[in-house]
Structure 1
């Protein structure tokens, strides 16, 4: 799936770094989560309303990260999100955390599953969410 890219700014704060002054590896996952949440909001959905109105939530099923260069205290980063594949109840996203100059710090493939908000069993992606994904790439119906 070829897709447009959503980008979200993140500044590195002291709390994000380790004793060496670089972003602690697990914090990149937090940055990516924030960008995914803002991407969904940019598509016109609030995650709380998706759960309440549509009865589904998204859970991370898998994550594969490659660390390429360290990010440091006070650095401004851009966290990118783009859909790579959409299934009946799943979504694979490509994410990149970039430094100010555009160099990739971390690349990731994140697998999400749409599940029923009560039973946590897989559930089909709601059509209105599928329709919104279309602005980021090929038709995903």
Structure 2
């Protein structure tokens, strides 16, 4: 079971030709993962209070077709691998006409922000992730 999040392309997201600048897709993916975590009952500011963060370790991204100014995009996310201190997301950005625009595999690690060392995903979050895998 995955998650879907909609996002509108704003002028600030595009280049001079009205096409989304490639690096902004990473921001869209991040927002979708944050909203999914929120939907599962966890706010990242609560994690920060305990010096816990999720950091991107690896990204593999393919651009299939351009997104354009003012489009309403759908970001589909699913967890394809779940470990004690990391997880891998498969994320896809879909156009209003159901065209696959961008796809990515993103590995995220849970870290202690004080030491920047890996740490186990908190048990309550891990259980929520297991429920949706």
Q: Does 1:17 align with 2:30?
A: no
Gaps of 5+ in 1: none
Q: TM-score, normalised by structure 2?
A: 0.96
1:36-115 alignment runs, 5 A limit:
36-53=33-50, 55-115=51-111
SS for the counterpart of 1:113 is: strand
Report the aligned-residue RMSD: 1.0
Q: How many residues align?
A: 133
Shift in Å at residue 114 of structure 1?
0.4
Give the structure 1 partner of residue 3 of structure 2.
6
Gaps of 5+ in 2: none
Give the structure 1 partner of residue 29 of structure 2.
32
Distance 1:123 1:134 in 2: 17
After the TM superposition, which segments of 4 or more aligned residues of structure 1 sit over 4 Å from their partners?
A: none
